[in-house]
Amino acid sequence: MKLIEKKEEHQQVLRPPRTALVIFGATGDLTTRKLIPALCNLAQDGYLPQDFIVIGASRQKLSDQEFRDRVFKGVKEFSRRPITDQVWERFSKNVYYQAVGFSALEDFINLRTRLEELGQQCAESLNYLYYLATSPEFFSAIATHLKQAGLVEPVQSTKRTTSIVIEKPFGRDLESARALNHDLTQSFDERQIFRIDHYLGKETVQNILVFRFANGIFEPLWNHKYIDHIQISVAETVGVGSRAGYFDQTGILRDIVQNHVLQVLSLLCIEPPISLDADSIRDEKTKVLKCIRRYTREEARANSVRAQYSAGHIDAKAVPAYKDEKGVAKGSSADTFVALKLAIDNWRWSGVPIYVRAGKRLPKRISEITVFFKQVPDTLFRGLEGCELEQNVLAIQIQPEEGISLKVSSKPPGPRMRVSPVVMEFNYGNSYGVPSPEAYERLLLDAMKGDATLFTRNDEIEEAWDLLAPIFDLWENFSKDSESAIVHDYQAGSWGPKAAADLLRVQGHRWRRL
């Protein structure tokens, strides 16, 4: 078979069925920066379905061409690689716009008419995929109106598949997450709901499963007997920017830890699933989340640190304190930095501290999972100068570069016995001839195919809210307890408050330098 035929066959296997993608909130940042560029890259690689249309839906009144022009700017600026004119021309012909008021049923009925008209141009009926790139307050209304307008088929329908993709945040706490899910499941079956966490679309995160279960050398060590502790760090250099209004009500524990961090943690710590299908993996992830210790108030106090950045410098640029950013309420106690110590109470992980830190206005943008292995018995090298042993450390870097490194000890060349750490590295960019796709490319493709493996299930979301509830309660209900109101300070451009370092020092640990 010729190479070109092989490629076409390969694309055929990966290509989803015919789909109409309706993006609610299409005039927002997410569509311009992520969704349309991702779709264009899929188009360029030949992975979009044979018949594929995009309808941007938002309250604004725009023509189809105005919408195309708007998103084209985003493609030029934010696509991970240049999109050829040919690809854009072919793709943009199937990009449309429909003004939809999210609380107006009539607009949804008009949307249905539009979809049916556009569908007539296709050989077979299109599946409908609804992407909610809106503020969360509109999720319930949109889902309800889709149902009322006849735009939701039952899950067993043979006519077409209808699904809905929703972006985080999934609620604000356990109660609101349950309420949201209740509203969604009034209109959609759980199997039709795709809750997106874009971290799960990153290659390195997907690689965790392969790394753990396709290599014989790591799984025997992946437990409390050999692992000393785990650190997960999500660092951003940016401040709140234009999201101050949203962020001030949310904080970073909700914005990053509840979803991205806990998703990554659960993948890192799961038992081997019985298969690679979506529910088998998600079952195991949920079990990990269930096993994470629910803290008492005192434990929450001892194992959590929240902080807010003060004025400082990010790479020589002076930046203001959080409280001085535009849109931040006076006296705000929103956390721009959080550090936690978690514990997983099961046989595999008992006694292994899991340290998490996430923060804005940190010195560099980097997200990393680091596994610290236990120190060997220091009998052979004890007392020999230049032979101070360091732990083996496995680092899985999620962004900006994607890769894995392993720190081991070795002897430097020379006449004396000395021990020095060296790092063995695997970097996606250097190892494979193809660049990694953007997370949204993989996730959109999977949503169109109906593969929910990389999407979160409702019970995972509820467990994540449940385990963090004591910390939210401590931080937000402090009227009786002034100690819990402590919001530490850290200078923008530093790695966080001293209290975060103290959290680890209790067990003789320290944060890895990033």
Q: Give the list of residues 6+ apart from residue 474 with CB closer than 8 angstroms, or none.
A: 297, 300, 301, 304, 481, 484
**Closer Cβ to other proteins, 276 or 422, answer by number:** 422
Q: How far is the CB of 239 from other proteins (least distance, A)?
A: 14
- The answer to whether residues 301 and 220 touch, using CB atoms and an 8 Å cutoff, is no
User: What is the contact surface with other proteins in residues (CB under 8 A)?
Assistant: 237, 312-318, 363-364, 366, 368, 385-386, 393, 395, 405, 407, 413-416, 418, 423, 425, 493-495, 512-514
Three-state SS letters, 182-216? HHHHHHCCHHHEEEECHHHHCHHHHHHHHHHHCCC
Choose the catalytic residue: 145, 260, 313, 509. Answer: 260
- The answer to whether residues 162 and 192 touch, using CB atoms and an 8 Å cutoff, is yes
**Closer Cβ to other proteins, 6 or 365, answer by number:** 365
Q: How far is the CB of 311 from other proteins (least distance, A)?
A: 10
Residue 434 DSSP SS3:
coil
Q: How far is the CB of 216 from other proteins (least distance, A)?
A: 26
Q: How far is the CB of 236 from other proteins (least distance, A)?
A: 12
**Closer Cβ to other proteins, 30 or 319, answer by number:** 319
Place of tokens 């079990």: 287
Q: Give the list of residues 6+ apart from residue 215 with CB closer than 8 angstroms, or none.
A: none
Q: How far is the CB of 371 from other proteins (least distance, A)?
A: 13
Measured between alpha carbons, how far is 445 from 246 in angstroms, rounded to an integer? 29
**Closer Cβ to other proteins, 303 or 367, answer by number:** 367
- The answer to whether residues 321 and 310 touch, using CB atoms and an 8 Å cutoff, is yes
Three-state SS letters, 328-384? CCCCCCCCCEEEEEEEECCCCCCCCEEEEEEECCCCCCEEEEEEEECCCCCCCCCCC
Handedness of CA 118, 121, 127, 129 (dihedral sign): negative
Closest residue by Cα to residue 289 from 262, 310, 307: 262
Q: How far is the CB of 402 from other proteins (least distance, A)?
A: 14
Q: How far is the CB of 229 from other proteins (least distance, A)?
A: 15
**Closer Cβ to other proteins, 10 or 510, answer by number:** 510
Residue 158 DSSP SS3:
coil
| Six token digits for residue 193 | 């709901």
Measured between alpha carbons, how far is 342 from 390 in angstroms, rounded to an integer? 24
**Closer Cβ to other proteins, 335 or 368, answer by number:** 368
Q: How far is the CB of 390 from other proteins (least distance, A)?
A: 10
Closest residue by Cα to residue 231 from 429, 501, 421, 470: 501
Q: Give the list of residues 6+ apart from residue 389 with CB closer than 8 angstroms, or none.
A: 375, 376, 378, 381, 409, 419
**Closer Cβ to other proteins, 331 or 414, answer by number:** 414
Q: How far is the CB of 385 from other proteins (least distance, A)?
A: 5
**Closer Cβ to other proteins, 253 or 514, answer by number:** 514
**Closer Cβ to other proteins, 122 or 387, answer by number:** 387
Q: How far is the CB of 512 from other proteins (least distance, A)?
A: 6
- The answer to whether residues 408 and 424 touch, using CB atoms and an 8 Å cutoff, is yes
Closest residue by Cα to residue 492 from 200, 297, 236: 236
Phi-psi region of 375 (alpha: psi -120 to 50; beta: other; left: phi over 0): beta
**Closer Cβ to other proteins, 90 or 364, answer by number:** 364
313 is catalytic: no
- DSSP character for 292? B
Closest residue by Cα to residue 338 from 369, 366, 363, 304: 304
Beta strands in 104-161 (DSSP E): 127-132
Closest residue by Cα to residue 197 from 257, 281, 124: 257
Give me the active site residues, please.
260
